[in-house]
Amino acid sequence: MNGAVRGVGLAVIAGVFVGGWLWVRGEPETNGTGAAHAATAGVKVKMWQSSQQCKSCHQKVWDEWYGSHHQIAYTNPEVRRLSEDFRIKDCQACHLPRQVALTGFGKRSLPRQTRPNEGVDCITCHLAADGTIMGKRDMPKAPCAPKANADFASVNMCASCHNQHQTTDQWRASKYAKEGKTCHDCHMGKFGHGFNAAHDTAMLRAAGELTVEFAAGELKMTLFNKGAGHNFPTEERHRALDIEYGFPDAKGEVATWQRAYRFRQPYRDEPGENTQLPAMAKKSVSAKVPEGAERAKVRLWYRLNPFAKNGDKASTLLEEKEISLR
């Protein structure tokens, strides 16, 4: 906090405060303390307090972010329900967080009391401890004068909130970390600040590959985590991924689907081990084939919560395979 407060304080001495903009007069400052640093003669210096301030100049990024799970982190009905409308105070730290640079990259973020509709926002990620904007490179000529910051551009930034259930550690142990393929490469590549993931069917389909074989009289089903840079599923303990199989009748209908395997990290009070599938790992399960069955169908279901049934909105059918058993 110190840096920001001191920086702003100095600048205020040198200027007049007008509706969030600070008009600074006098000689350029060279002492490097935040807003004051950018206070060159006659230049107006912004105090960055809300994502609204970035909108008009960064409309495209704003549109990607707006409606994303970062933006809705505090208003998300699912989160409000489970946090009892944030009466469980612990939940606010990551869902309505202060700027990460203040608490420290990789350290658990702290809650804020402002901008409830902006959840995890431009300020959370881009505002440096000294009140300037962080980016991947220095751009002193841009109106917001972003400065390069290695932590900002790295996985350490995400770790502040995303290592609660070891997603960041899972990534660090994967081949992607060795290759230097980061969270950003997979989650910001196509949709930028939308950070698409488990609510996006295309992303979910990119994670797993299901193969089905008939071998030694048994039905063998294998899932390969070919595309998630961490466990599949990861993070939220709600998530579940099911392989189901069934034997169609003459009309092609399956009367009963049976679960062959569930990939999931159980709730803390739920018995069982973590069966999530690590990056690049394969898991095979086999099932007995009943007398007279001619074909088998196998499905891969993703569930946003473990109670969701086939056909619910929280369930997504990722793949369906059919093979002959002759």
Measured CA distances, 279 to 12, 109, 240, 242, 264 (Å): 51, 27, 16, 17, 14
One character per residue 292-311, x = contact with ligand HEC (rule: CB under 6 A): ------------x-------
Binder of ligand HEC out of 16, 41, 88, 150 (CB under 6 A)? 88
CB of 222 to ligand HEC, least distance (A): 17
By beta-carbon proximity to ligand HEC, the closer residue of 69 and 295 is: 69
By beta-carbon proximity to ligand HEC, the closer residue of 33 and 51 is: 51
- Residues numbered 38-57 forming contacts with ligand HEC, rule: CB under 6 A: 48, 51, 53-54, 57
Q: How many residues does the chain have?
A: 326
- Residues numbered 185-214 forming contacts with ligand HEC, rule: CB under 6 A: 185-188, 192-193, 195, 197-199, 203-204, 206-207
Q: Does 264 bind ligand HEC (CB under 6 A)?
A: no
Q: Does 275 bind ligand HEC (CB under 6 A)?
A: no
CA-to-CA distance for 23 and 11, rounded, in angstroms? 9
CA atoms within 13 A on the CB side of 81: 3
CA-to-CA distance for 66 and 54, rounded, in angstroms? 12
Cis peptide before 233 (omega within 30 of 0): yes
Q: Does 34 bind ligand HEC (CB under 6 A)?
A: no
Measured CA distances, 198 to 18, 97, 252 (Å): 43, 22, 31
- Residues numbered 131-160 forming contacts with ligand HEC, rule: CB under 6 A: 133, 135-137, 139, 142-144, 146, 153, 155, 157-158, 160
By beta-carbon proximity to ligand HEC, the closer residue of 167 and 246 is: 167
By beta-carbon proximity to ligand HEC, the closer residue of 33 and 174 is: 174
By beta-carbon proximity to ligand HEC, the closer residue of 162 and 297 is: 162
Burial class (CB in 10 A: 0-12, 13-18, 19+), 41: exposed
Neighbour-count burial for 176-193, b at 16+ CB within 10 Å, e otherwise? bbeeeebbbebbeeeebb
CB of 91 to ligand HEC, least distance (A): 3
